[in-house]
Amino acid sequence: MGIVSEIEQKLAAAFQPSVLEVVDDSESHRGHAGFQEGGESHFNVKIVSDKFGGMSRIARHRAVHAAIGAEIIGRIHALALDISDRS
C-alpha cells in the first residue's frame, strides 16, 4: 500500500470528511530538498470535516498530524494541509 492510501485511510477513519484529497506532489519538487526518486516525499492534503469546527488552525494541523501518525510523518519530507470545517 502506498503512502497516499495510508494517509487517506487514517484521515477518513479519524474525521469522516466530506472532502478528502491526498495528492503526491513529489515530482514537482525534483531537485529540491527531500525529493526521493519514485515519489512519496511531498504531499498536498485537502480535508473538510465538521470535526474541525471550533478548532484553531494550529489545533487542526496537530489533529491531522496525530491522525496520520508519527510513523508515516517520519517517512515523508513535506505535508501541505488545506483544512476546513465546511466546503
Structural domain for 31, as ranges? 3-84
Distance CA 13, CA 9 (A): 6
Question: What is the mean pLDDT of the segment spanning 64-69?
Answer: 98
pLDDT reported for residue 25: 83
**Number of structural domains, the chain?**
1
pLDDT reported for residue 86: 84
pLDDT reported for residue 22: 96
The CATH number of residue 30's host domain is 3.30.300.90
Distance CA 59, CA 55 (A): 6
